[in-house]
Structure 1
Amino acid sequence: MSETTMKLAVIGGSGLGDALGGEKGEVREVETPFGSPSGPIVETEWSGTPVYLLQRHGPGHLLNPSQVPYRANIYALKSLGVTHVVASGAVGSLRESVRPGDLMIPDQVIDKTTKRANTFYDAAAVHVELAEPFCPVMRRWLLEASERLASTRVVGSGTYVCMEGPAFSTRAESELHRSWGADLIGMTVMPEAKLAREAELAYALVALPTDFDCWRPVDPDQSRQDLLAEIIGNLQKATAASLALIREALSDLELLAAEPSPAHRALALGIWSDKAKIPPEEVERLGVLWGRYFKGEG
């Protein structure tokens, strides 16, 4: 894939969503078979690279994690020709070694969501591989960029537990997640990463730890207002660091252009149904996602 055919999108979560900007970009309103995305998609330019920006929770952060239209968001990006997605999201840390204000590029996910539509393919049996839920090429690209940013501490791997929310964990749940070997707790990476794989989009996450979750006792002398202010401060610090990291990564796309992502062929062996028996209207409805495998192009 050449740099001219590559198109990147940034999905911003808490903090980064408000900081994305893009006021000078072109607003793209996209309708999908799954309804409208979270908000307008802004086509702009970062570091000389065309980028599509999408706020996961919508303008004003009105959509809670269970209400985010994940299918519409990913489908809309795919329909615009996006090939690579960098996502961000605020998380809680489950480890002393992952400090609020740091960044993490996770490599694994445990999905505990229960209410969200998690596949595009309701009329066929489609099974994509998800052993590596984040694109290894994009992870390496981000980590190489992080080495050029000495001021930012980036943790290079870890496991993200995605819970349903919107309430935060109980202490027992937080301790359970730690016993599983998880490093982060959040509410938005699933089914987003899973749907990106079904859409054959390379996908990687920059996670923004804001606090230590509830497993770690807080200072009893710290007021709730001070604690909230501390969390917001950590989010602002991590947001600034993530913006710097993404911009630095976008300044050099050579690795992404030279090395294909495994995600770009995720459906090659993933459509288990007899293609001849899948309703033609369903093939056409989702043509943006899987159409090439019905035209002999896959």
Structure 2
Amino acid sequence: MTVLGILGGSGLYEIAGLKGATWRCVESPFGETSDEFLFGELDGLQLVFVPRHGRGHRHSPTSINYRANIDALKRVGVTDILSLSACGSLREDLPPGHFVVVDQFIDRTFAREKSFFGEGLVAHVSMAHPTCNRLAEIVHDCARDAGFPIRFGGTYLAMEGPQFSSLAESRLYRSWGCDVIGMTNMPEAKLAREAEICYVTVAMVTDFDCWHPDHDHVQVADIVRVLLDNAERAKSLVTMVAPRLAKARPAPCPAGCDHALEHALITAPAARSPEMAKKLDAVAGRVLKG
């Protein structure tokens, strides 16, 4: 059975229209989640919504407890994650209001816990293809059917923040071939892969990054307007995706997301920390019990 987790970014703090909507706390051994989770049903699909920054936008990109969020989503049975994230554009042909179904990341964050594993239980998962192509195609098709300007495929540069890029940095990221820039999708995507949850990102462009000659002329009110418009379209996208995902889910995932840990654990069973194993009961329970 598919259970969809929605990670909402800036401007997206709730999902309306859920049947049996209930906010409730989900505990995690990795600490407190960003907020309570919103549980409900949409067109026959069980859905769990997480306001990534907390309601009222209390958490900065660095202070978000990504591990707690992903671990808690795994504990409540989430099988697929749709990440909705505001971002800046690094390309002239991706103006404000455009969406990008991201398929690659460059991680430039440095002040965050990036793995569930560590001393006492080491694992190395592949991030060659960090998103689920099955999910990506469904989301892209729904957005295209709705007439939203959307691009399939693109590279997301994840920066630490909370400050925005310098001009030199922005030009550097463009020279690397990056398409959009944001602050929240790493280590989120890495942790989803470790937790064997299918993951896809829709990056929603609010503005051009500072490389663009018109950047300094953009007013905050303009960015907020685009942010709110994007959030409304993102909510519409969720309502379109839900009935598609409510249908029979292929098992195993064709992209291998739900078996990412199959050959990832490197610590010998006899050398594994019992404390770490207990902490990882949700994330890695499938392989630890094997």
Instruction: Give the one of 239, 242, 263 matched to 1:247.
Output: 239
**Which residue of structure 2 aligns with residue 143 of structure 1?**
140
SS of 2:186 mapped into structure 1 = helix
| Distance of 2:229 and 2:285 partners within structure 1 | 42
Deviation (angstroms), 1:46: 2.2
| Distance of 1:253 and 1:216 partners within structure 2 | 38
**Which residue of structure 2 aligns with residue 88 of structure 1?**
84
CA contact (8 A) 1:12 1:20 kept: no
CA contact (8 A) 1:138 1:256 kept: no
**Which residue of structure 1 aligns with residue 273 of structure 2?**
279
* TM-score relative to the length of structure 1: 0.91
| Distance of 1:139 and 1:283 partners within structure 2 | 32
| Structure 1 runs (4+) greater than 6 angstroms displaced | none
| Distance of 1:274 and 1:281 partners within structure 2 | 15
Which region of structure 1 is more displaced relative to structure 2, 42-51 or 179-188? 42-51
Q: Does 1:228 align with 2:249?
A: no
Change (3 A) 1:132 1:99: same
**Which residue of structure 1 aligns with residue 289 of structure 2?**
295
Q: Equivalent residues in 2 for 1:160-239 (5 A)?
A: 160-218=156-214, 222=217, 227-239=219-231
Instruction: Give the one of 239, 251, 257 matched to 1:263.
Output: 257
| Distance of 2:113 and 2:220 partners within structure 1 | 32
Which region of structure 1 is more displaced relative to structure 2, 211-220 or 261-270? 211-220
Identical counterparts, % of pairs = 39
Change (3 A) 1:252 1:184: same
**RMSD, aligned α-carbons:** 1.7
- 1:15-68 per-position Cα deviation (integer Å, ceiling 9, x unaligned): 122x42469512221111111100001101223322001100012101000000
- 1:40-98 per-position Cα deviation (integer Å, ceiling 9, x unaligned): 01101223322001100012101000000000000000010111010111100000111
Matched residue type, 1:272? I
Aligned residues: 286
- 1:169-223 per-position Cα deviation (integer Å, ceiling 9, x unaligned): 0011000000000000100000000000000010101111000010012277x4x
CA contact (8 A) 1:137 1:259 kept: no
SS of 2:278 mapped into structure 1 = helix
Matched residue type, 1:158? G
Matched residue type, 2:237? L
Change (3 A) 1:81 1:182: same
* TM-score relative to the length of structure 2: 0.94
Instruction: Give the one of 122, 125, 128 matched to 1:128.
Output: 125
CA contact (8 A) 2:44 2:246 kept: no
Q: Does 1:114 align with 2:110?
A: yes
Runs (5+) with no aligned partner, structure 2: none
CA contact (8 A) 2:43 2:246 kept: no
Instruction: Give the one of 150, 157, 160 matched to 1:154.
Output: 150
